[in-house]
Structure 1
Amino acid sequence: MPLLNKMLFSSSLALGTLIAVSSYSWMGMWLGLEINLLSFMPLISSTKNTLSSESSLKYFITQAMASSLLLFSLILLSMNSPYFIELNILLNVFLNMSLLLKMGAAPLHFWFPEVMEGLSWLNSLILLTWQKIAPMVLLLYSSKTPYLILIVIISCMLVSGIMGQNQTSLRKIMAYSSINHIGWMLAAMMFEEIIWLSYFIIYTIITLNILILFKKMNINTVNQMVVVINNQPNLKLFFSLNFLSLGGLPPFLGFLPKWLTIQVLINKSLFLVSTIMILATLMTLFFYIQVTFSTLTFSTNTTFSMKMPTHLMFFMASSNLAALIGLILVTVAFNLT
């Protein structure tokens, strides 16, 4: 695809999200979601291979299904007929389910890992980060059904922890990792919007660091990663720090939003929910550490060397330094204030 077309579709993608999150009416929000969908489709299918075409078709079908359910719920909710008053709770559930389907939250995640498998790393970054903004903000605007959100949160924790085990595809590992973080972000969103925003920004920065490494090294599987960065200690360090931070281990920055989310849940007397979330997240942390240890400990006779640009190395070094000591700096700042 020519560079000009990519720029136009990328601008439309950003415009659709901005329209959705800044509209005053639900119809305007739905229109923004549709612009976002139609702009992302050409970006997915820009590479000429069967995997990208299959991913674009799967993405279009699921997003069109979610948009239809969203529009159906909005039309019925807008009616003031007495016959629909008793169905408002059910329609709010349908409305929330359509937004959860759009962001790929469990148990409506069936399309997410399959679509990720056929995307380039740049498109994967868009799907993991930018494409979640509009559905999450609209879910923030909607009349949330607490029991549905709690079921989705626990489902995200369990599905990501179980399905992420023994995966060799890095795209599927990142997809199930995203599902786990969706559960944490939904829990933060229910009570404190600022914690959700902080969580999303930190998650985006860490994911950006990891996917830049995957893209520059052209890594797609765990086995490739062991071979490619075998004799490059700097890249091993960058990768390990980012993955451990993504898993939420202290003293890395990725632990901060989870720490704040747990504190909010405990303050709301949701001890059982926070305990289930912590225990289920340990399963995802297991395959994070498994991938990290395989990278650090395994060695092969095959050598591969690729010199990364100086500005990219500086960016990765700076972001990894922030990921390493960010939690310590934030804790010190809180204590000083």
Structure 2
Amino acid sequence: MINFYKMMFFNTMILGTLISISAYSWMSMWMGLEINLLSIIPLFKNKSTLSSEATLKYFITQALASLILLFSIIMMMMMTEFIPQNFNLFLLMIMNSSLLTKMGAAPFHFWFPEVMEGLSWINCFILLTWQKIAPMILLMYNYQMPMFLFSIIILSMLISGIMGLNQTSLRKIMTFSSINHIGWMLSTMFNNQSIWMIYFIIYSIISLNIILIFNFLNIFYLHQLYSKMNYNISMKLFFIMNFLSLGGLPPFLGFLPKWMTINYLINENLMFLAFIMIILTLITLFYYIRITFSTLTLNSSENLMLKSKIKNFPIMMINTISLLSIIICTMIFNLM
């Protein structure tokens, strides 16, 4: 049973994001971000003590980012009276940094893995997807410092690759995967918001598939993953295909937005950035394949002839549709 207060706060969380992205002024944009923040805090509430700690960490970090954002907005409003004009770029960098902190891009990602570690899978999904919409769209409105954002893109991909190699917690692996995808999404924002939207939607679908499997099996660590997957071969197959899709391997849906992004970057003569992004993504792809390969190999307790019954039809249906949608998308783009 869903509590009434959770439904109310879920609606106000969505409302806060919509107010923020459709605002006419920076102050109303900030107000939308605050409504969103105050609404998500009660949703994080859980029986475990870790959730209280994660909620507090999230609130302090977001409040600090909002404070810096508000400071930069007020300073820019006072620009004509007290502050010299060439100070504008510095304030813009402060504003962008606060938005990057809100979405969890490296090197402002210090809070992200710690908060994720204390949340349930459904809350993790909200944090990985919905909570990134408002900061990313607001960053699009003032995308005026390409070199600063290029360095953020490269750092996000480098840090997520190196930090993700050492993890055994699935929530932290999903976090560093998300930071890597933030790098890809930031690169699409430069002049082409439609690719960003396609990328974000596809990333959300793949993340939903993986998180539904984790939530259904109630697993949070790699050793649990290996033991639970042995008795459900169909679930194991869907999990492997979704993880490879998240990495962006060609036959799967996750390859489509990366393909479009690389194509767009090359058309914009950003070959060097595209090359570095591809190379750094290989690090994350390495630990995706390491997880899937370990899951794929047979254990002594597993029987190939074991008939695995489909226990959860909605999960299977969503997975099948998303994994087949690369064919549908290819047909649509060919006909357009």
- Is TM > 0.5 for Structure 1 vs Structure 2? yes
Q: Which residue of 1 aligns with 2:320?
A: 321
Q: Which residue of 2 aligns with 1:68?
A: 67
Q: How many Å apart are 1:43 and its aligned residue?
A: 1.4
Q: Which residue of 1 aligns with 2:265?
A: 265
1:36 aligns to 2:36 (yes or no): yes
Q: Which residue of 2 aligns with 1:50?
A: 49
Give the distance between the partners of 2:40 and 2:273, measured in 1 at CA: 35
| Residue deviations 1:144-183 (CA, integer Å, cap 9, x gap) | 3111110110011101110000311000000000000000
Give the distance between the partners of 1:65 and 1:334, measured in 2 at CA: 43
Q: Which residue of 2 aligns with 1:156?
A: 156
The one-letter amino acid of 1:49's match is S
1:250 aligns to 2:250 (yes or no): yes
| Residue deviations 1:19-39 (CA, integer Å, cap 9, x gap) | 111111111110010011111
Q: Which residue of 2 aligns with 1:9?
A: 9
TM-score (normalised: structure 1): 0.94
1:201 aligns to 2:209 (yes or no): no
The answer to whether the 8 A contact 1:96-1:144 is kept is no
Q: How many Å apart are 1:81 and its aligned residue?
A: 1.8
Runs of 4+ deviating beyond 2 Å: 300-303, 305-309, 315-337
The answer to whether the 8 A contact 2:72-2:92 is kept is yes
- SS for the counterpart of 2:84 is helix
- SS for the counterpart of 2:272 is helix
- CA gap of 1:335–1:49, structure 2 versus 1, over 3 A, is closer
- SS for the counterpart of 1:261 is helix
Give the distance between the partners of 2:57 and 2:320, measured in 1 at CA: 38
Q: How many Å apart are 1:321 and its aligned residue?
A: 2.9
- CA gap of 1:306–1:16, structure 2 versus 1, over 3 A, is farther
Q: Which residue of 2 aligns with 1:147?
A: 147
The answer to whether the 8 A contact 2:245-2:254 is kept is yes
Q: How many Å apart are 1:307 and its aligned residue?
A: 7.2
Q: How many Å apart are 1:302 and its aligned residue?
A: 8.6
Q: How many Å apart are 1:190 and its aligned residue?
A: 1.2
Give the distance between the partners of 1:82 and 1:40, measured in 2 at CA: 37
The one-letter amino acid of 1:55's match is A
TM-score (normalised: structure 2): 0.94
The answer to whether the 8 A contact 2:205-2:322 is kept is no
The answer to whether the 8 A contact 1:52-1:118 is kept is yes
- SS for the counterpart of 1:83 is coil
Q: List alignment gaps of at least 5 residues for structure 2.
A: none
Q: How many Å apart are 1:2 and its aligned residue?
A: 6.8
- Output the aligned Cα RMSD: 1.9
The one-letter amino acid of 2:66's match is S
Give the distance between the partners of 1:307 and 1:170, measured in 2 at CA: 25
Q: Which residue of 2 aligns with 1:165?
A: 165
Q: Which residue of 2 aligns with 1:192?
A: 192
